[in-house]
Amino acid sequence: MGTISTLLADHVGFRCRSVDRIGIRGYISGLMYEAGLAKFLVGRGNPIPSPAVLTRNRDRMVAELDALVARTAVEVVRFKSGQSKEDTARPYQDEAATAGRFGLVLVGKAQERTSSWRGWVDDSHPSHRPGHPHIAWRRQSSVPDHWYFYFADEQWGPAVLRMCSYAPYPLWVNANGHEWAKVQLARAGVGFEALDNGLRSVDDPAMAHQICARLGAGHVGDLLARLMAVAPTRSCSTTASVGSTGRSRSPRWRSPTPPCSTSPAGAGPDLRLLSEPISTWDAPNRCR
């Protein structure tokens, strides 16, 4: 009795390997530990690292995000608990791409749990004295608004940038290498039949292999630059922002190895190990 792999082998008409879903996290490295946060706040001209400074930063950032929404006139959706964000946003992204309207197409908001800085006066600390209180800081669980910026990108298709207005101001970018490959095939004039997360067939399989093989860090960097140019990313003060050149405040982008999905085409994607970089899809022959 054969294995599943051997049984399927005789019915596979097209096989291709490609980077699958890509997730990138950005953060301000100097705000990831207490001493760095205190240095950052005092370095802004404050005599003490007061929590009020973070409150002003949050209010200003939210005002900038609201101004962006008003300026672009995109629809804003308040996600409900259990609502699929991707399923809600995808029709907006597909419609915009079909019409050739690339860029920001939808903004979503959702209250989500995260770890953020909280400060309080610690009068038990040796350095605490009247007129100069000691402020202690600790990362605590909070449930602030997270902002989701959904894009129809000319090179990548659907992409999303997620931001939080609470320190240390994390942000996330998600895109899909399969969608990038579909866009590149279409731009090259190569016909194909698409799956939800892959390809069923391609008129020029060799070209599909070449396109999927050339996806690299430069393409991801270009996507990040386009997304960051649209959404306001100033998260701390007029002199410090995500994307600034200040050594201690520049963002540190971290991208775990893209996930791997392996499934016969037509059966739907199967998200598997997050440590595997390549996705392989097998497209069955038309015969039964």
Per-residue pLDDT tens over the stretch 273-285: 222 345 555 555 5
Would you kindly state where each structural domain of the chain is located, as residue ranges? 14-284
User: How confident is the prediction for the chain on average, in pLDDT?
Assistant: 79
Contacts of 16 (CB under 8 A, 6+ apart): 198, 199, 202, 205, 208, 209, 212, 280, 281
Q: Is 267 helix (H, G, I), strand (E, B) or coil?
A: coil
By DSSP bridging, strand 103-111 and strand 75-78 are parallel
What's the pTM value of the predicted model, to 2 decimals? 0.78
* The pLDDT value given to residue 85: 95
Which residues does residue 104 pair with via DSSP β-bridges, in sequence order?
151
Tokens matching residue 148: 């989701």
Task: Give the pLDDT band of residue 30 (cuts 50, 70, 90).
Answer: confident
Per-residue pLDDT tens over the stretch 206-252: 999 999 999 988 899 899 899 988 876 544 433 333 333 333 334 44
Q: ∠ CA(58), CA(61), CA(64), 5° rounding?
A: 150
Distance CA 135, CA 166 (A): 18
Distance CA 164, CA 167 (A): 8
Per-residue pLDDT tens over the stretch 117-150: 998 887 777 777 787 788 888 999 999 999 999 9
38 vs 249 pLDDT, higher one: 38
